[in-house]
Amino acid sequence: MPIIWEGGAFFYSVPVYRDNQVEDVLVGIRSKENMQAMISSKSFNGQVISCIVDSTGQVIISPTDLKPFLQLDDIFRKEKDSKVKSDIYQMQSDMHKGSSGILEFTAVTGEDLFLAYNELEINDWFLFTLIPSDIISGGAERYIIQSFVIMAVTMLIFFIFLFAVYRFYHIHRLQLERLAFVDPVTGGRNNAAFQLKYRELARGMEPGTYTVVLLNVKNFKLINERFGSLTGNRILGYIYQVLEQHVCPHKDEFVGRGESDYFFLCIRANTPQEVQGRLDNMIQDINSFRDTDLPGCHMAFRQGACRVEDPSQEITIIQDRARLACRGRDLDFWQGCVFYDESLTEQLKKEQELNDLFEDSLENHDFHVYLQPKVRLGDEKIKGAEALVRWIHPERGVIYPSDFIPLFERNGKICRLDLYVFTEVCALIRGWIRQGRELIPVSVNLSRQHFTKEDCLDEFYRIAQEYGIPRGAIEFELTESIFFDNQQIDRVRDIIRQMHMLGFDCSLDDFGSGYSSLGLLKEFDVDTIKLDRSFFLNMTGSKARDVITCLVDLSKRLHVQVVAEGIETTEQVEYLRSIGCDMVQGYVFSKPLPAREFEKLWFEHI
């Protein structure tokens, strides 16, 4: 589209084609003023001035304000600035080449200006634009300020994000630490935290100055059954609080809860007397139930300790040794702390061997039932027997009850062994029935482990029915160790009532070995009491004889049969006969015998 400048006006012409032939020309006209208005800049408050020139520098369209360009012309003509001179030559060269560019100069007024020249690609025309530098710098300053604001806001957002990430990390780290090191039941240290604390302490520990102690609540399952698991957990928390009150942080002592009802302590004490004294105070304080709304119940604790002779030894090994020591005593009434020594390791190995032999021995009938006669003193006839178990292994030989009974009491295998003995006794009684023998009651020991199950008598009754055992032919012997609190007493009372309903008699074994024996006579409807052999170890004093006499008289008043066990001399027999004791069991008449030997002795004395 050609543009022609003629007489102060601009002519635009466009050919009109028809059948590829130019038939007409369309012409448009713009005045000089109209063109000046069109190239005038409306931005920057009109401070930018433009004009159009040709490649030789002749002005085609001048600006409305010629003053700035006159200043430009004055500078170009004087050429006082070598840099300006160089820039002018460069601009002229660019314009001849049809290139665009920018140059910077200072007007005669001292104002800094930018001149931009851009080819328009029309008639070799160029657009000259004059821009004051303060407009550029002002925009740059605003840009810089905006950039700083954006950077500041960005940094603020970034720091807020970092803070949020740190807070999130910190909160979750605390949660993870709580999960890893805080016991959810007690709110105190768990076993992992106890071990970590010990490792920190062990770095500067002197050998033999500290002892790691393990406390285990005896029969805590029964507490859970009595009060419920929620109250049981509160009791565990209470125990932890009391233990924590008894350790001295300034001595680097601390406590932690292991699994279930186990608690570990690391205390600065090294003699058995010092350790025992502190543990006694702790247990006494626990059983006082001061400053708590928890239900009171007497709790006994198994106690094991390992003195730290080598601080570099791993804490898990020390804890395992404390566990071994905790299991080192099997007596029900033993309340003291047992210290680890090498003999306990040998004991553990021996117990593991017995555990490994149990299943095969039960299947192969390596457990044999022995019977010890109960002799009626009136005519010295055998009127009863106690079934005792003997383990005769084909390779190990005789394994004594003192080696395996306490072990199986702890691990629960005693329940299966009791059922095995009961089944063997039922088989013997059925044989006597088939032979037409007059039956005598046979006593079978019933472990306290059975009392943790609601239906503890069901299996015994089923077996008795299967073998056709008549009522009164079997008597269950219970020891005083099953009565450790009032809740247990209530349960045992109910079970004794069930025994009678199912056709079993009940005997209270080891009567007099505990501190509540007379009270038990009042509580339970037992058929027989067996006076503990400890009564007869020293009968030279009148007081001992008077106690035995009173017990026999009391039993007769309560219509309870009396059996004296552990009798070994004829003098003891004569004395017991003189005070009206019903029966005697002991080596004075017979040791425990294999079933066939017992039957021979019994049949000969009918």
Please report the pLDDT score of residue 331 as a whole number. 44
Segment 176-204 shows an average pLDDT of 88
pLDDT at residue number 432? 95
Does any domain span residue 148?
no
Instruction: Check pLDDT > 50 for residue 395.
Output: yes
Considering the domain architecture, whether residues 258 and 334 belong to the same structural domain is answered as yes
Most confident of 124-133, 275-284, 488-497: 275-284
Q: Are residues 364 and 333 both part of a single domain?
A: no
Residue 386, in any domain of the structure: yes
Same-domain status, 473 and 426: yes
Q: Which residue has better confidence, 323 or 17? A: 323
Hunting for tokens 């010629």 — which residue is that? Answer: 66
Q: What is the pLDDT of residues 536-580, one digit of tens each?
A: 877 776 787 888 899 899 888 989 999 999 999 999 999 999 999
CA geometry: angle 404, 484, 358, nearest 5 deg: 15
Residue 168: per-residue pLDDT:
76
Q: Same domain, yes or no, for 490 and 582?
A: yes
Extended strands (E) in 340-441: 367-376, 381-393, 397-399
The residues near 209 (Cβ < 8 Å, ≥ 6 apart) are 268, 270, 308
Q: Is the pLDDT of residue 435 over 70?
A: yes
Looking at residue 108, its pLDDT comes to 66
Query: 226 is in which domain, residue-wise?
Result: 191-340
Is residue 258 situated within a structural domain?
Answer: yes
Which residue, 340, 369, 404, sits at the end of a domain?
Answer: 340
182 in any annotated domain: no
Given a cut of 60, is residue 439 above it in pLDDT?
Answer: yes
CATH number assigned to the domain comprising residue 376: 3.20.20.450
Domain shared by 483 and 387, yes or no: yes
Are residue 326 and residue 372 in the same domain, yes or no?
no
Q: Is residue 113 a part of any domain in this protein? A: yes
> What is the reported pLDDT for 472?
94
Residues 220 and 305 grouped into a single domain: yes
Between 318 and 222, the higher pLDDT residue: 318
Same-domain status, 93 and 212 = no
Of 3-12, 174-183, 382-391, 519-528, the one with minimum mean pLDDT is 3-12
DSSP string, 129-167: EEEEHHHHHHHHHHHHHHHHHHHHHHHHHHHHHHHHHHH
Helix (H) / strand (E) containing 537: none
Q: Is the pTM of this model over 0.85?
A: no
My answer on whether 76 and 215 are in the same domain is no
Looking at the domain assignment, is residue 143 inside a domain? no
- Report pLDDT for 332: 46
> Bigger pLDDT: 495 or 166?
495
Of 154-168, 268-282, 292-306, the range with the lowest mean pLDDT is: 154-168
Mean pLDDT score, 409-430 = 94
Both 376 and 295 in a single domain? no
Domain C-terminal end among 340, 375, 395: 340
What is the structure's pLDDT at 282?
A: 96
Which of 285, 308, 340 is the last residue in one of the domains?
Answer: 340
Q: How sure is the predictor about 510, in pLDDT bands with cuts at 50, 70 and 90?
A: confident
Identify whether residues 532 and 502 lie together within a single domain.
yes
Of the chain, the end-to-end C-alpha distance in Å amounts to 148
Q: Mean of the pLDDT values across residues 502-522?
A: 77
Q: What's the whole-number mean pLDDT along residues 513-529?
A: 73
More confident call, 72 vs 333 = 72
Question: Looking at the structure, do residues 24 and 108 belong to the same domain, yes or no?
Answer: yes
Which CATH number do you get for residue 28? 3.30.450.20
Asked, for residue 175, whether it belongs to a domain, the answer is no
Tally of structural domains, the chain? 3
| pLDDT surpasses 90 at 259 | no
- Note whether residue 158 is domain-resident: no
